Structure 1
Amino acid sequence: MSELTGIPETMLWTLHNRGSEAVRPDGFIRDQEAARIYASIDYDYERSFGRPDGSHATRSVMFDEVVGDWMKRHPGGTVVELGCGLETQFQRIDDGRVRWLCVDVPEAIAVRERFLSPNERCRFVPRSALDLSWMDAVETSGPVFVTAQGLLMYFEEAEVRHLLTAILDRFPDVELMFDVIPPWFSRKTLSGLQKTRHYRAPEMPWGVGHSDLEPLLRSWSPRIGCVRMMPYRRFRIFPWSLVPLLARIPGLREIMPWIAHVAALDTEHG
């Protein structure tokens, strides 16, 4: 995996947390494909990323629940997974009807294709999320759900705004789900965040606090409807294991990472 550097290499960081959790007898994610891929790659995960903390497994489970519920309400709808990396959400929650687009930069899709195969309902699109031509691959005028796990924080705020408003403008019936980091953590990455002695995390320019996200989104687009903020449920390593408790305290919410679920207003009746 020496060809992966920078942001694309983070797909191995997230795989480390999901794959290691999936093979635990008490793991809180069931993901045979992640476990298979995790074991198949000759890479010293702990040397680069340290002990697995369960964070990305928790995030994946939370995304599964929301997207899975949406699929039940919109059978045959289209899910777009921006920055898919080696995420195996389609394999976990496929209902036999959903249409799925896996979007990522070409070098990431090339790695994905070594371990996962596209098919008629799950297509791979080798483009950056910021290259809006990926939208042309969405072959529907019906409901669309766009996810971005561990992606938007790597963009500048102006790029996030351009991407999200373009999605809202393009798809009349759309929901979005993405995670955000707090400003202090963004600043830490910009000054140099060493995950371990052997791995420096890429810069994450976009950080936003809990109370600031909804007003910011509404200032970007009149199509923002319901905004739901969800704290991470569990971590396996202290002090991150305290996050679910700290997220209940108003003054501490601003320094926590969050997951956002956004529904667009109906263009005709909103």
Structure 2
Amino acid sequence: MAPEKVQLTEEKATLLATLYGRALDARSRHPILGDDMALEAVGRIDFDFRKTGMSPALAAAVALRDRFIDRWAAAYLATHPEATVLHLGCGLDTRFYRLAPPPTVRWYDVDYPEVVELRGRLFPERPGHRVIGSSVTDLKWLEQVPDDAPALVVAEGLVYYLHPHDGRALLRAIVDRFPGGQVVFDAMSRLGVRLQKLNRPVRKAGATLHWGIDGPGELVSIHPRLRCVSAVSAFDIGGFDRLSPPHRISAWVAGAIPGVKRSAVFYRLEF
């Protein structure tokens, strides 16, 4: 089978970095996520992944982020086995395969057409799983999704790439369409966005972060049905004992600075 060639730029190219991060974790001695599908996909793509700027330490951070959001998503599906999942900006994530939801779940992976086309060449089809090729901010794609069940919306590694007005419009449209649900995602504060040049994979991809969120109040004000049930600093998700001693110390020092600690936060909203 010939290697898959890719030509992605800006925020689309960051999916190669996160894919490589999961692959590095999978082939480490003590994997955090153990995403063997990511490792296999990297082997099938004709690309020099060293250009992504991803390192073993950053790979561990990617795996910890994925694992944390996986747990939130799994908890929701355990109590809502007939939910509709919207995996926004899915990239080359294998969350559907990792969580293996019951057949009663309808799962939609949404990303740019060229991204979902590449996904189709790398990952197998499964019942109950559909991909939609569209920018998440072109809200017409929502018309392809039934609105008769609660929705679990997962937006990992996406929100800060959106312009604020687009992100708010997306959240409003989702809340208006479904009878209820949860939205789980990671976000950066305005300080985090200002410090984006320190993020090596973002810098290497030529991507730009736009939307900084300074607390739950900015999110629940978007729609009267929204409420925040969790807001967890990235420095409080656990698992940092899996990092190398230098990176563990760096994370501890950074997490002790209040502004830095809140620069990256995981949110869980209900509506």
Query: What SS does the aligned partner of 2:207 have?
Result: coil
Q: Could you tell me how far apart the structure 2 residues matched to 1:240 and 1:207 are?
A: 26
Indicate the residue corresponding to 2:33 in structure 1: 29
- Corresponding residue of 1:10: 14
Could you tell me which runs of 5 or more consecutive residues in structure 1 were left unpaired when the two chains were aligned: 265-270
Q: 1:50, 1:10 → 2: CA distance?
A: 10
**Equivalent of residue 199 in structure 1, options 170, 179, 204:** 204
Residue 215 of structure 2 is matched in structure 1 by 213
Conserved? CA contact 1:194–1:200, under 8 Å: no
Q: Which runs of 5+ in 2 are unaligned?
A: none
Q: TM-score normalised to the size of structure 2?
A: 0.86
Q: Distance in 2 between matches of 1:154 and 1:73?
A: 31
2:145 matched to which residue of 1?
Answer: 138
In the alignment, the residues of structure 1 paired with residue 94 and residue 189 of structure 2 have an alpha-carbon distance, to the nearest angstrom, of 26
Question: What does residue 169 of structure 1 align with?
Answer: 176
Q: Taking structure 1 as reference, are residues 221 and 239 closer, same or farther at Cα in structure 2, changes over 3 Å only?
A: same
Q: Distance in 1 between matches of 2:252 and 2:79?
A: 29
Alpha carbons 2:147, 2:177 under 8 Å: kept: no
Counterpart residue number, 1:84: 90
**Does 1:41 pair with 2:45?**
yes
1:2 offset after TM fit, Å?
4.4
2:211 alignment partner AA: W
Query: Structure 1 residue 63 and structure 2 residue 65: aligned?
Result: no
What is the Cα deviation at residue 246 of structure 1? 4.6
Distance, in Å, in 2 between the alignment partners of 1:125 and 1:47 is 28
Which residue identity is paired with 2:7?
Answer: E
Q: 2:11, 2:205 within 8 Å by CA — same for their partners in 1?
A: no
**1:200 CA displacement:** 4.5
Mapped partners of 1:113, 1:240: distance in 2: 37
Please say if residues 17 and 56 of structure 1, whose CA atoms lie closer than 8 Å, have aligned partners that are also in contact: yes
- Report the TM-score when normalising by structure 1: 0.86
Q: Percent same amino acid at aligned positions?
A: 30
Report Cα offsets for 1:18-60 as digits up to 9, x if no partner. 1110121201112221121122223222233141312221111
Determine if contact 1:55/1:234 at 8 Å carries over to the other structure.
no
Contact 2:9 2:205 in 1 (8 A): no
Query: 1:85, 1:18 → 2: CA distance?
Result: 13
Structure 1 residue 91: deviation in Å? 0.4
CA distance in 2, matches of 1:135, 1:240: 41
Offset at residue 234 of structure 1 (A): 4.4
Counting matched residue pairs gives: 257
Deviation per CA, 1:160-198, whole angstroms, max 9, x where unpaired? Answer: 111111111111211101111122331244xx56727x9
Q: Distance in 2 between matches of 1:139 and 1:85?
A: 22
Bigger shift: 41-50 or 80-89?
Answer: 41-50
Whether the 8 Å CA contact 1:102–1:123 is kept in 2: the answer is: yes
Code of the residue aligned with 2:11 in structure 1: it is I
